[in-house]
Amino acid sequence: MELAARLVLDGVLGPWGAVICARQTQGRGQLRRPWASLAGNMHASIVLPPAPDCGPWAVAMRDLLPLVAGHFVSEVLAGLGASVEVKWPNDILQEGRKVGGMLIEERNGTSILGVGLNLADCPGAAQMRKDHSVPAAKIRLPFFSGGPVTLLGHLVNHGKTVYTVMLDEIPPPRFISMFESKLAWFGRTILVKEGEENSYQAVLAGLSLNGGLVLRREGEESVLYSGSIFPL
């Protein structure tokens, strides 16, 4: 992420340009938590294009960009034979196990997507943080052979196509409805944690039009924008 940001400033990387590394020593995930960067896995940062200047996505992209990234990453993985879900807002799950994660950071007006995928190895239970919601696993890609660089090529080239089609053909409200089918635990009762002391159970009812998680609790709905969710 740091190198990609510097290369953007230097004019070396533009939209859909990417940086990949064999191993990170200071990998980070959501809330700057440490990210285990094991050799053989894919650790990459992709420079995302700017939001459109006009049309329905001109305003919506600011709020929905994390979901847009989850959409095109999951679509590319599906094309390689992997049935995956997105644990809101940025984890990639396969058969209930975490096989990857995403992180978006904005630097000098440019959004950079960090993607980690457990291609060759995954952290053991002892390496996971204490409050992790699901165990880790290696991703299974039945229609893919190759290493991290080849996989990154798929994410960039096919992801760009998915992104372009989305902008041209899918308005934001329809996108939200489509994305709900990718949500892990959609329609199920989950445990929600907001901060260290506030936790409760609620039904994961869907997504709001600005990308928040819609929760149903005691007959009322609320929208979660920041917090952690866990399966029950």
The CATH number of whichever domain residue 198 belongs to comes to 2.30.30
Per-residue pLDDT band for 128 (boundaries 50, 70, 90) equals low
Model confidence at 86: pLDDT above 80: yes
Q: Which comes out higher in pLDDT, residue 44 or 36?
A: 44
Domain extent, residue 156, equals 2-180
- Same structural domain, 208 and 227: yes
Distance, in Å, from the CA atom of 12 to the CA atom of 136, rounded to the nearest integer, reads 35
- Same structural domain, 225 and 125: no
Of the candidates 37, 43, 33, the residue with the CA atom closest to the CA atom of residue 25:
37
- Same structural domain, 126 and 100: yes
Residue 33 amino acid letter: R
pLDDT, average across residues 157-163: 97
Element (H, E) at 19: strand 18-21
- Same structural domain, 78 and 193: no
Taking CA atoms, 219 is separated from 142, 180, 205, 215, 216, in Å, by: 42, 20, 11, 10, 6
- Same structural domain, 51 and 129: yes
Model confidence at 110: pLDDT above 90: yes
Q: 3-class DSSP state for residue 28?
A: strand
Model confidence at 55: pLDDT above 70: yes
Specify the range with the lowest mean pLDDT, choosing from 49-58, 156-165, 191-200.
Answer: 191-200
If one counts the domains in the chain, the total is 2
- Helix, strand and coil content of the chain, in percent to the nearest 5, comes to 30, 30, 40
Model confidence at 126: pLDDT above 60: no
- Same structural domain, 28 and 78: yes
- Same structural domain, 108 and 60: yes
Query: Can you give the pTM of this predicted structure?
Result: 0.92
pLDDT, average across residues 51-60: 96
Model confidence at 32: pLDDT above 70: no
| Predicted pLDDT at 53 | 95
Distance, in Å, from the CA atom of 48 to the CA atom of 160, rounded to the nearest integer, reads 9
- Same structural domain, 167 and 197: no
